[in-house]
Amino acid sequence: MQNAFQSVALIGKITNPAIREHVLALARFLGERQIAVVVEEITARQLDIQGYPVVALHAIGRHADLAVVLGGDGTMLMVARELVNHCVPLVGVNKGRLGFLTDLTTESMLEAIAKILDGEYTQEQRLLLGASIIRNGQLESEGKALNDVVISKGGVARLIDLELTIDGEFVHQQRSDGLILATPTGTTAYALSAGGPLLHPTLDAIVLVPVCPHTLSNRPFAINSLSRVEITLCGTDGAFVHFDGQLHAELRCGDKVVVQRLQKTVTLLHPSGHSHYAMLREKLHWG
């Protein structure tokens, strides 16, 4: 049977030495299937993977038509942000904690990858958010997120004042520890801990979840993913905007954070038979 993909990039969690044996096992398996294998350069260097072509993460789109990420959701988030413009589908093998994004196990990895190579897979398009920080009318910095964009207080134990506008219409001003803007993918992350709803990952929506708001009536709500959201920091310095909890930028009083969905999406592949609801049952210990 002809392989559905002809070249595969392998990306591993570099802080977990146990990943090495799984990367090598998968590389050997792909070689036996006559599939070209490239290894992301930091993965190769940190885990001492030799004997395969090495490619920088930002260049993987030119060398592979599928990327397999071995690690946890944090590794997948980083890879997804980097490769979103290259349209390379991603498969995740979990060697972290919960693994909402990296849903394959190392025990079932080779069998599951074989099914995907045989064309027995389903795919999901996951939206990402882009955020711009505007200071004194000028673009200060930008970032993107697969899970969430979070505006939060700094190290001082005090509330921050935020003004929220959606599509040019004033919504409210809130005092809180912060505000989470989560994609459907991100509703199983920080937004869940803050009391937000779970959305199916294919929905075209953004969830806004206040963090410890100073009013019981300030509740999470969902909006159309095409909306333009503006959050203005009022009355205080020392707040931050975080992207997937991995990157951040400092905010000053008067700064605006403008959040919109990106035009391009990330494609996640699952073996045929994958069930989002079964995954939630397992990870969240439902009935």
pLDDT attached to residue 203: 95
C-alpha 246/C-alpha 146 separation (Å) is 11
Confidence of residue 170 (pLDDT cuts 50, 70, 90): very high
C-alpha 35/C-alpha 63 separation (Å) is 12
- What is the per-residue pLDDT across 200-245, written as a single tens digit (0 to 9) for each? 999 999 999 999 999 888 999 999 999 999 999 997 778 999 999 9
C-alpha 39/C-alpha 9 separation (Å) is 6
pLDDT surpassing 70 at residue 194? yes
* Arithmetic mean of pLDDT over the chain: 94
pLDDT attached to residue 1: 60
pLDDT attached to residue 103: 84
Is 120:94 a contact under the CB 8 Å cutoff? no
- What is the per-residue pLDDT across 19-78, written as a single tens digit (0 to 9) for each? 999 999 999 999 999 999 999 999 999 999 999 999 999 999 999 999 999 999 999 999
Q: Residue 254, SS3?
A: coil
What mean pLDDT do residues 231-260 have? 93
Domain spans, the chain: 7-127+265-284, 129-261
C-alpha 174/C-alpha 159 separation (Å) is 9
Residues of the chain above pLDDT 90, percent:
87
Lowest mean pLDDT of 26-35, 91-100, 212-221, 277-286, name the range. 91-100
> 266-271 and 121-126 as β-strands: parallel, antiparallel, unpaired?
antiparallel
> 256-261 and 229-234 as β-strands: parallel, antiparallel, unpaired?
antiparallel
C-alpha 100/C-alpha 73 separation (Å) is 7
pLDDT attached to residue 137: 95
User: What kind of architecture, by CATH, is found in domain 129-261?
Assistant: Sandwich (2.60)
User: What kind of architecture, by CATH, is found in domain 7-127+265-284?
Assistant: 3-Layer(aba) Sandwich (3.40)
pLDDT attached to residue 178: 95
Query: Rounded to two decimals, what is the model's pTM?
Result: 0.94
Q: Residue 27, SS3?
A: helix
**Burial tier of 268 (Cβ tally within 10 Å: 0-12, 13-18, 19+):** buried
**Burial tier of 215 (Cβ tally within 10 Å: 0-12, 13-18, 19+):** exposed
pLDDT surpassing 80 at residue 156? no
What mean pLDDT do residues 81-107 have? 89
List the catalytic residues: 73
